[in-house]
Structure 1
Amino acid sequence: MAPLTFVTGNPNKVIEVNAIIGNAISIQPLALDIPEIQGTLTEIASDKCRRAAHIINGPVLVEDSALEFRAMKGLPGPYIKYFLESLGNDGLNKLLDPYEDKHAEAVCTFAFSSGPDMDPLVFQGRLEGKIVPARGPPIFGWEPIFEHNGETLAEMEHNKKNKLSHRYKALVKFQEWLSQTKFAL
């Protein structure tokens, strides 16, 4: 089985994806600078996937993460990367200061295309939690402020996180699709 190209420049994401999927799928990371459109999570991931499939001329998997604050009707959503770069975790917390509702959803969207000119398939996972002051190492940007069942994602032991996270839930859906369709990579 040839490795599936996983478009990411984040080595920690590669480690986590490999930990979740184990030997089920062999991935080959590739950092590509693909501009992101503005839109919904599905539109952004699908567009990035289409562009990547054209660049590599073959099957590709892309991932996009989001953080949705219920009090802000889903913002920052897919733009969390830019909010985090500008405000940091403390600034993200301050965005919610005027609101009593601190609930949030971590969202992971994977898009897969079997090659150029093939419509991407989207697999999404969600994890409910709340926004809290930062705790734990900042390996994955906003994970120190996202708490699920009393622990931030940054505080969680890796094996525990990799069995319940938004990324895990999206990858399970992708793996189920692969096994049901018998798609050969």
Structure 2
Amino acid sequence: MTIGFVTGNANKFAEARAIVPELEMLEMDLPEIQEIDAQAIIGAKLAEAVRRMPGRELVVEDTSLSLKCLNGLPGPLIKWFLQAMGPRGLYEIASKFSETRATARTMIGYMDGAGAVRFFEGTVAGSIVVPRGATKFGWDPVFRPSGHLKTFAEMTREEKNAISMRRQAFAGLKAFLDGR
């Protein structure tokens, strides 16, 4: 049995498949509604994915970054904030407000072949810092998880994956799949 993980990002897929080996990467360009509620975004993505591939077990994912100084924004809108201002701009906003706390969040939605949907979430608390390290993920250079000295971008893949919000969310999915 394979479960289609709709993503075009090979790094995300590798991290997820290390936890849920049943995953198969499905590259499909899904429209993403602009919304603060991650469950609404995931629900819309799943609805479109199942419209294109009816009867398949599917997984979609949304990762967000919420800044305390902006009352949770950009959240799921992080992609657009990064396009407009880059990681350095996120740092400058947080430092101007003198409030650097942030939460990285991954929400995944799983739809079984009958259309039932379940959500799984992982979160990592941290802070926004001066950009450090190279990355393949947009805001990794400015996010330093609580209790760590390195930003996500400075960590090895193994270090990041051991504590990541994506790992937590996919571990929840794995536990669910193993228990059914």
Same fold, TM-score > 0.5, yes or no: yes
User: C-alpha distance in 2, partners of 1:4/1:37?
Assistant: 23
Q: CA deviation at 1:79?
A: 0.4
Q: CA deviation at 1:74?
A: 0.5
| Counterpart in the other structure of 1:94 | 92
2:57, 2:110 within 8 Å by CA — same for their partners in 1?
Answer: yes
Q: What is the CA deviation profile of residues 26-60 of structure 1, one whole-angstrom value per residue up to 9, with x for unaligned ones?
A: 22111212111233011111211121122112111
Superposed structure 1 runs of 4+ greater than 2 Å apart? none
Q: CA deviation at 1:97?
A: 3.2
The question of 1:111 aligning with 2:109 is answered yes
1:54, 1:115 within 8 Å by CA — same for their partners in 2?
Answer: no
AA matched with 2:61: E
User: C-alpha distance in 1, partners of 2:7/2:44?
Assistant: 15
User: C-alpha distance in 2, partners of 1:119/1:99?
Assistant: 42
Instruction: Choose between structure 1 and 2: higher helix proportion.
Output: 2
| Counterpart in the other structure of 2:172 | 173
Range that drifts further, 155-164 or 40-49: 155-164
Q: CA deviation at 1:171?
A: 0.8
Q: CA deviation at 1:115?
A: 3.2
- DSSP 3-state at the match of 2:95: coil
| Counterpart in the other structure of 1:71 | 69
Q: CA deviation at 1:138?
A: 1.8
| Counterpart in the other structure of 1:48 | 45
Unaligned runs of 5+ in 1: none
Could you say what the CA RMSD is over the residues aligned between the two structures, in angstroms?
1.4
The number of aligned residues is: 176
AA matched with 2:138: G
| Counterpart in the other structure of 2:25 | 29
1:66, 1:77 within 8 Å by CA — same for their partners in 2?
Answer: yes
Q: CA deviation at 1:111?
A: 0.4
The question of 1:153 aligning with 2:149 is answered no
Q: CA deviation at 1:69?
A: 0.3
Unaligned runs of 5+ in 2: none
TM-score computed with the length of structure 1 as normaliser = 0.89
| Counterpart in the other structure of 1:3 | 2
2:15, 2:167 within 8 Å by CA — same for their partners in 1?
Answer: no
Q: CA deviation at 1:174?
A: 0.7
TM-score computed with the length of structure 2 as normaliser = 0.92
- Which residue, 78, 101, 121 being the options, matches 2:118? 121
User: C-alpha distance in 2, partners of 1:98/1:161?
Assistant: 28
- DSSP 3-state at the match of 2:24: strand
AA matched with 1:13: K
User: C-alpha distance in 2, partners of 1:87/1:12?
Assistant: 24
